A and B are shown apart, each in its own frame.
Chain A
Amino acid sequence: MIEIRWHGRGGQGAKTASLLLADVAFNTGKYIQGFPEYGPERMGAPLTAYNRIDDEPIRIHSNIYEPNYVVVVDDTLVGPVDVCKGIDPNGAILINSSLEPSVIKEKLKDVNVKIYVIDASKIALETIGANFPNTALLAAIIKVTGLMSKEDLEKNMLDSFKHKFAKKPEVIEPNMEAVRRAYDEVKEV
């Protein structure tokens, strides 16, 4: 079983991203859970969301305390929130950030897992034209986890976007471009 914890701020779409990831994994025949930890729902307040992905039915219904992977939607959370708490030593953390790799490394100097960075906000602005980093982050975490190949991801996302954006097909291609770029641009620091 793969367990993923998302750290974001209210309004940034961490919940949506976790549900999207559940969707994508479901489409490949996996058993999935996607759920947010609902709090006061304030715009900008730190929040978490979770994913479990497995080949077997998932029975456990608690939050995730020892994630294999952590995704940080907003790099200002690193520090105020112990984003790596309980992380699997063989796991990895993925951060959406425009900071220099050396700065991120310094911020996470006590962390002994692989660190991946993606500037998902930049990709979103350049492709979709708005700061919706979800799509890019989703593609990046899928690459980091090795859940599926780029080809499978593209096919899967296209199906999902066709359904999701049935009423505004013009945003499908920009989102697909964000998927492709994020898959290629995510890198270990």
Chain B
Amino acid sequence: MSIKERLSGNEAVAYAMKQINPDVVPVYPITPSTEIPQYFSSFVANGTVDTEFVPVESEHSAMSAAIGASAAGARVMSATSSQGLALMYEMLYIASGMRLPIVLTCVNRAISAPINIHNDHSDSMGARDCGFIQLYCETNQEAYDNIIMAVKIAELAKLPVMVCYDGFITSHSVENIELLEDEKVKAFVGEYTPEHYLLNPDEHVSMGPLDLQNYFFEHRKQLADAMTNAKEIIAKVSKEFGDISGRYYDAFESYKLDDAEYGLVVLNSTAGTAKTVVDKLRDKGIKVGLLKPRMFRPMPHKELAESLKHLEAVAVMDKADSVNAMSGPVYTELVTALHKHDVHIPVSNYIYGLGGRDVKATDIEKVFRDILAAKDNKENLNGTFYLGVRE
């Protein structure tokens, strides 16, 4: 029997961390992720968990301490947002390059300047090539579920995992959630038994030494292979999680997409709003559907192409801008995936909601109307638009 509760996204993640009881949590607070260490530190203070909580002096130190603890053989979790993730940047590559299964919650927030505390995906998208697995979440429920799965995925894939969800919209909004019993979560994540670790007296290993022309390339290829192999690991762990929770997760969620003529691709909380728009347009007989990526790293390119190839046109919504005079990151990667698998359909790009600009159902309806109209107006296809921006 699951436990019916009402929690904010941050409360849900702190609760999952309590159930996981990681060995070490080094963390530095930053809005809107601050409540995670805040709530978790109370679990530490009252003895509910026996985690070593390390309140460091910066996010760079948080990730550095996470790397040290993980290399020593500990199960490690942390959380951050925005500038905090940016300050960790140097160490993110070291975590993945050393193949350390650290689980990091990234509560998505815009990156300065101008300074802004609200949600977009500039932080995690900026770190998309750092070798972390990235899982994106629509709701507090998905944040809770993905955090629990992330521990197992990270340890099996020997890769760090970043679980991303929308600042304030998901992190601070109280919604219904179903929690698993403590013993179910504990049994699911199990004891962490690292294969190689620094505090093993029976095996002397070096981690992170100088690695020049002779081996560096091979190690990077191993990292690339690990990310490719992570797809199957994520599928396996997600299936196991579905078996204990009744909630099954794929690489992405397809919503009314199979018989759709026009599709929308969007991450995180906006996907929920988009589902209501899909339903509304469906009621009017307009065949639209939605694809919500959960896995962005590794990229499920083949499956994405397979799911979208029957569409007349697709709109990809990006809550981050690559500032590359071309398109946003989800668009760029999705078009690459389609091309790679010989799917040639029109795809337009909508940069939206930067800095927390609210995304209304009518905004999403406009995107659908645009691509529906574009079949008679080809010049609008394949364009990049800034949804609702004032000019």
Contacts and interface: CB of A to CB of B under 8 A. Distances in A.
A97 interface: no
Interface in B252-281: 269-270, 272-273, 275-276
Nearest to A38: B168
A43 interface: no
A23 B6 CA distance: 7
Interface string B160-182: 00000010111011111000000
B361 interface: yes
Contacts of A59: 272-273, 275-276
Interface residues of B, number: 22
B359 interface: yes
A35 B269 CA distance: 14
Contacts of A31: 175-176
Interface string A30-42: 0111111010000
B132 to A, nearest CB: 25
Interface in A1-54: 19, 22-23, 26, 31-36, 38
B143 to A, nearest CB: 13
A26 to B, nearest CB: 4
Given A23-B6, A38-B117, A61 B176 contact: no
A61 B118 contact: no
Interface of B: 6, 117-118, 166, 168-170, 172-176, 269-270, 272-273, 275-276, 358-361
A58 B358 CA distance: 17
A57 B273 contact: no
A112 to B, nearest CB: 23
A57 B272 CA distance: 11
Given A33-B173, A35-B173, A61 B6 contact: no
Contacts of B272: 59-61
Interface residues of A, number: 19
A162 B38 CA distance: 24
A170 to B, nearest CB: 24
23 contacts: A19-B174, A22-B174, A23-B6, A23-B174, A31-B175, A32-B174, A34-B174, A35-B169, A35-B173, A58-B175, A59-B273, A59-B275, A59-B276, A60-B272, A60-B273, A61-B169, A61-B173, A61-B269, A62-B273, A62-B358, A62-B359, A62-B361, A65-B360
Interface of A: 19, 22-23, 26, 31-36, 38, 57-63, 65
A9 to B, nearest CB: 19
Contacts of A63: 358, 360
B175 A33 contact: yes
Given A23-B6, A38-B117, A38-B118, A61 B172 contact: no
Contacts of A38: 117-118, 168, 172
Contacts of B358: 62-63
Nearest to A41: B117
A134 to B, nearest CB: 15
A21 to B, nearest CB: 10
A57 B275 CA distance: 12
Contacts of B118: 38
A22 B166 CA distance: 20
B174 A62 contact: no
B38 to A, nearest CB: 16
B12 to A, nearest CB: 14
Given A23-B6, A61-B359, 11 more contacts: A32-B176, A33-B174, A35-B168, A36-B172, A38-B168, A59-B273, A61-B166, A61-B169, A61-B273, A62-B361, A65-B360
